[in-house]
Structure formats: C-alpha cells, structure tokens
Amino acid sequence: MEKYYTRACNFYFGKISVIKYKKKKSLALHGNENISFDHIEIISRKSKKIIHIKDINKLKKKIKIKVKSDLEKITKKKYFLKLNLLKSPLTMGILNLTPDSFSDGGKYNKKNKAFAFSKKLIRDGVDIIDIGGESTRPGAKQISEKKEWKRIYSTLTKIKKLKKLISLDTRKSLIMKKGIENGVNIINDVSGLEHDSNSINVIKKFNSAVVINHSQGTPSIMQINPKYSNVLLDIYDFFEKKISLIRKKGIKHNNILLDPGIGFGKNLKHNITLISNISIFHSLGFPILLGVSRKRFIKDISGFNDSKERLGGTISAALFSFLQGVQIIRVHNVNEIKQSIKVFKSILNG
C-alpha cells in the first residue's frame, strides 16, 4: 500500500501571518499565529503534489484522512520542557570538551576556558548548552567511558550552577546516567539511541528529555558512500519507528526532540534535500532541532569562499530553517545567530 506524507509549505510570518490566520486563509504552525502556511505538499515514494489547504476536501478519501491527521500534528502547539517554543527559533550552544572536534577541538578543554565560554553563551542569550566529551566528527574513533567522563565532569559541575538547561552529547548509557545525576536535563545521542541498548532505560528511569537524532553508521565510517532509497522519507520512517518504540517504553511526549542529523551519514545532496524539505518533520508532532553550524556542506557549496568558521553559511542555513518553522538551532556562534534572527524577523514584520 502506498504511504503518503504531508509537508507544510508556503509560509507567512509576523503581521501578514496573523491577518491570514484570523481570516482563516492559513493554518498556524504548531499553534503560533506568527508563522502560518496555506499550502501542503503531499509526497509518496512515487509522486509529489502541492495543493492549497482549501482543496484538501477534494482529495481521495484515503489520502484526505491521512492529510487531516497530519495537519492536526502540524498545527497543534508543541512543548519541550519549559521552553517557550513560540519564540523560536531557540538556540542550543555547542560546548565541545574534546581535543579533536571538527571545528573547535582543543579550544575549550583546558583549565577554565569551558566555564568562561559557558557564561559567554548565557550572556549571548543561549537557551540550552550542549556539552560533549567525545568527538563524533566523520572519521572519529570511539573513546572509553572513563576518558569521556573525565573530560566532562569538572566543567559540568560548574555549569549546572548557572541555572541553564544542559544537554549532554553522548552515545553511552553510563555517561548519560552520570550526566543526569550531575544536572543534565537533555540527552543528545547522535546515534538515535542505537549505539547502546541500555540508553532508553536510563532515559526512562530518570524521566530525562531526549533528542532523537538520525545517523547512518558510526562516526568512523558514516561518510563512506552513504546511500538512501529516499533520504527524506527514509529518515521520516526512522523517526516514526523510533518514536513508537520509546513512547511504548514510557518516554513522555513533551520530552522528545527530533534532529535529522545533517552531516551524519549524508552527502551534500542528502543534506540539501533534508534542509530544503525540513518542514516535513512537523507532521510527526514534535519540535525539530537542526544542527547546521560550520558543517562540511557549507564548504562543499561555497568552495573558494569557505572560511574556518563558516559563519555566513551557518547563518544562511539557520535563517532558512527559521522560515520552515524549525524550533531549535544547534550552533557555535550564538550571538551572531541571535542577531541575524532578530534582524530578519524585524524585516519580515516590516
């Protein structure tokens, strides 16, 4: 049986969005009148078609039922911990305590540099601090639990005193357990809870929030010729199955974020397809986290104009994801991203 997917598209923002929504000419995305849409794309593995929302009742019965079910999830207000998602996009600031992360390895893993940078992130207006002690860059090798925890512990004990949401970037259940016991609020596992079979049990036991990432293969091999039947729909199906599994295990609905894993087992075409169609994941009914900061796809596109920080490309991708209703953006340069979003929103509002 052919499976159909619904992607919200043709978005409106600010004053125009509110006017259209109140006139019932558009639908509010995740309950936010300031971002609405009036078209949807109906996708299958054989076809795709964009229609206006006024034409939904003209669809065949089976497709219409599926589309209306998806629209309920797309338009329903989303929740994640105590964050105000109506002010999205929010920022998750990256704090790597590693010597070998792809863009900032060795920068914050000495003395008090990590704590000082954490305070800067907070001054810049970060919403979540994402701390990690093991590099998951393409080609990275796994390290021991002992070494990973040693890199994290000292900084974590200081950061938790800053009263800011803390996310822990790890694939190991023991590190998750220790992290949660020491103030971590969110588990950000790039393997999508595939690496360690005990991870789901730890998250359930401590009632922790979790980011479900998608990654094809382990960091050491993930960029060796990644392949998909249809990258957008394959990842959607992965999320659907994983959500069903962890909900059955007792993980709370409002404790789940989705991240399609840009650069994790994806080539340039895969990454661009995912970012340009990111709004399809709204129909799963959970907030979306997107990590685009300084990633290789920016270099692949910019070529000669590439720079070490890739700030221009990061801002471009972040602003586009905002236009698709993404709620949280994971970035290195929090201040610059916040500035670009504020200016962009102001221009949109006239």
Give catalytic residues, as residue numbers: 295, 330
Beta-bridge mates of residue 338: none
Comparing C-alpha atoms, which of 239, 227, 317, 330 is closest to residue 281?
239
How far from 16 is each of 41, 86, 125, 322, CA to CA, in Å? 22, 17, 27, 16
- Which one, of 6, 116, 3, 25, lies nearest residue 69 by Cα? 6
Task: Let me know how many helices (H) and strands (E) the chain has, helices first.
Answer: 11, 12
Residue 324 DSSP SS3 = coil
Residue with tokens 């949807």: 40
Closest CA relative to residue 211, chosen from 282, 148, 296, 291 = 291
Q: What angle do CA 60, 66, 72 make, to 5 degrees?
A: 130
Task: Select from 301, 310, 314 the least CA-distant residue to 341.
Answer: 314
Q: How far is CA 237 from CA 3, 232, 241, 279, in A?
A: 10, 9, 6, 15
Whole-number Å distance between alpha carbons of 90 and 125: 9
DSSP H or E run through 302: helix 296-302
Residue 105 sits at φ, ψ, to 5 deg, of: -60, 130
Main-chain dihedrals φ then ψ at residue 137, nearest 5 degrees: -65, 160
* 293 touches 332 (CB < 8 A): yes
